[in-house]
Structure 1
Amino acid sequence: MLKIGELFREEPPEDVWELRGDRLLWQELGRALAFRLVPESGLELERILEEAFWEATGHSLSFCNQVLVDRFAENGQSRGGISGASWRYRLFPIVVERYEKHRASIPA
């Protein structure tokens, strides 16, 4: 059975990352969801991803544009910035697309 964390295994292309904390959040979410089975529907996956974003950042994905996460600050060069728009429109859609490809490959 596929685990949600496996959908995070391969990182997106370099041009997808908007802020330095985005890659760190990607890695953290992959670990946090490593043992959780993929749900039966894409809508449920989206709910799980939004909940994981909330738990990791303390912010609702629906209402944030940019979030600062102190634990993602790297040697003072990054303030731990997370781009809500990037997660809404680029990063989570990559995860959902991978999920849909997996679901389509399962024999009926």
Structure 2
Amino acid sequence: MSQPLFVAVLFAPPSPQWGLRGDPYLWQALAERGAQEPWPRSEQALVAWVAEGVRSLTGHELSEDSPFFVEPFSHGGMSSGFVAPAHWREVIVPFLCARFQEAQASYG
């Protein structure tokens, strides 16, 4: 019997690229939420889970055009605490989707 997979598997190791300095903190917060989140049934379900997680953790939507500030992700510095939603849409979410597809092929 295989071990159940959780979304957090997709978050290790971290993304090699960040848009703004709040992005790694959002990544970590999503990874922590994913520790008990069952494996999504599809790539679309994964994207929806990420979008809902971003909304829940930040109060903002990934569809926003401008970077937004998240106080808990602010740890000093000029862009500290800012999240780049365009970077998430264009780089990080596709990166997670690619990892999902690789894992599906491996664990299928």
TM-score with structure 2 setting the length: 0.88
Corresponding residue SS for 1:20: coil
Give 1:86's aligned residue.
Answer: 87
- 1:14-33 alignment to 2 at 5 Å? 16-33=17-34
Percent identity, aligned pairs only, is 33
Unaligned runs of 5+ in 1: none
Structure 2 contact 64–86 (Cα < 8 Å) conserved: no
Whole-angstrom CA distance in 2 between matches of 1:78 and 1:89: 20
User: C-alpha displacement at 1:78, in angstroms?
Assistant: 4.0
Root mean square deviation of aligned Cα: 1.5
User: C-alpha displacement at 1:91, in angstroms?
Assistant: 0.7
- Between the two proteins, the alignment pairs up a number of residues equal to 105
Whole-angstrom CA distance in 2 between matches of 1:65 and 1:29: 20
Partner amino acid, structure 1, of 2:88: W
Partner amino acid, structure 2, of 1:2: L
Partner amino acid, structure 1, of 2:5: L
Give 1:5's aligned residue.
Answer: 8
Partner amino acid, structure 2, of 1:48: W
Deviations 1:67-102 (A, max 9, x none): 100111113554410000111011111111111111
Is 1:97 aligned with 2:98?
yes
Partner amino acid, structure 2, of 1:12: S
The 1:74/1:43 distance shift into structure 2, 3 A limit, reads: same
Give 1:36's aligned residue.
Answer: 37
Corresponding residue SS for 1:53: helix
Unaligned runs of 5+ in 2: none
